[in-house]
Amino acid sequence: MRFRFLTNVVFVVLGGFLVTASMAFGVPVFTWLMFGAGIAALALAAPAIMVVARGPTQRGLDGMIGLLGVWTIVASMVFGGAAITWLGFASGVALVALALAGLIIHELSTERVVHSFEVRTAAPERELAGMQ
């Protein structure tokens, strides 16, 4: 399993948690959950940007996720009340959208298509080889 697939799945789960927590918890608790989610997104995206093997598109998405993590940290400490609930909800939705874009790009890559092909021998060749 590729590392970029795993990080994108983690980002989907993190964004989904942020969306759910924005509606399930009160503002004081959600403020710290939002802060922690921003730190987690930034901590996962920052080293991933440096990995050249991830490709330019995935690295661009990682950069946007890193910026979203910074924005989530700042918004959790600056805003309050109903604004933080909706900003956290929006950050979670954006994180899910960016991570799903990364998963789609991963599935559409040519190496993924090549690995999904199955090599089979033709029927006459099997009979000549003694296989039924």
| 20-75 confidence digits (pLDDT tens) | 999 999 999 999 999 999 999 999 998 877 777 777 888 889 899 999 999 999 99
How long a stretch of residues is the chain? Answer: 132
Q: What is the pLDDT of residue 50?
A: 78
Domain residue ranges of the chain, discontinuous segments joined by +: 3-128
Helices (H), 25-81: 27-49, 56-78
- C-alpha span between 81 and 20 (Å, rounded): 17
For residue 26, the one-letter residue type is G
Which range among 10-14, 30-34, 122-126 shows the weakest confidence by mean pLDDT?
122-126
Residue 115's pLDDT band, with cuts at 50, 70 and 90, is low
Burial of 109 (0-12, 13-18, 19+ CB in 10 A): middle
The one-character DSSP state at 129 is T
Higher-confidence residue: 120 or 31? 31
